[in-house]
Chain A
C-alpha cells in the first residue's frame, strides 16, 4: 500500500522567511496530493492540493510542486507570518470509483517567530 514520508518533523523560521516542507510517496498510482494545516486545538483544514496532471500550483503565498517521476511533492510558504504557525500534513491518494482514503505523512510543526 501507499506510504508517505514527510520532512522535516519540525521547522522554525523567522517572520518573512520562506518555509519548505517535503513529502515522498511510494505508490505510483497516487494522483491526488492535498496539504492540510492544523492550528492548535482546531480541525485540519485543506490549504492547497495538486493533481498528477499538474506540476505546480500557487495560491497567494502558498505553492505546491509535484515531481511524479521522483514521487515527491513539496509545500512552499513565502513571506511567513506568525499565523502560519501550525502543524502541516501532506497526504496522497489514488482515485477509485467512490472516493478514497487519504494516506498522511507524520506532520511538520512549523513555528514562525516575529
Chain B
C-alpha cells in the first residue's frame, strides 16, 4: 500500500513569492491533516479535513495560507505571499476516518520550505 506522498520534497523561494504544496493521502483515508515544524520546535497542527470539508483550521497562522481538498482526495496548501517565518517542514498526515476511536495518523515525508 502506498503511503502518504508530498510534493515537492524541497522548495526554495524568495520572500513575496507564492508556493503551493501538495499532499496525496493514503487511498480511502477521509481524514487529512497539515502540520508544520519550524527548526528546533514542535510539530504544530495547521488544519484538518474530513473528506473535502475543513473540520478544524484553528492552527492556520494567518490568511496568507490557503488549504483546499477538492473532491476529498489530494490536498494543496498555498502560501501567498511567503514570508521568512514561513520556512520549515510542512507535513501532511492522513487517517482512515472510522470515527469512534482515535486512529493512527500516517505521515508523509514532508516538504522542506525555505523562504529567502
Contacts and interface: CB of A to CB of B under 8 A. Distances in A.
A34 B104 contact: yes
Nearest to B112: A41
Given A45-B107, A98-B31, A101-B59, A32 B102 contact: yes
Nearest to B33: A101
A95 B101 contact: yes
B91 A99 contact: no
B45 interface: yes
A8 B89 CA distance: 22
B104 A46 contact: yes
Contacts of A49: 104
Interface string A93-105: 1010111111111
Given A36-B107, A43-B109, A45-B107, A99 B102 contact: yes
B56 A51 contact: no
Interface of A is mostly: strand
Interface string B86-116: 0000010001010101111111111000000
B48 A101 contact: yes
Interface string A27-51: 0000110101000001111100101
Chain A interface category by residue count:
20 to 34
Contact of B95 (A99, A106, A107): A99
B31 to A, nearest CB: 4
A43 B107 contact: yes
B50 interface: yes
B45 A102 contact: yes
The 7 closest A-B pairs by CB, nearest first: A32-B102, A101-B45, A104-B43, A99-B31, A43-B109, A106-B42, A44-B107
Interface of B: 3-4, 31, 33, 35, 40-45, 48, 50, 55-56, 59, 91, 95, 97, 99, 101-110
Interface of A: 4, 6, 31-32, 34, 36, 42-46, 49, 51, 89, 91, 93, 95, 97-107
Given A44-B107, A89-B43, 5 more contacts: A43-B110, A44-B43, A46-B106, A98-B31, A102-B43
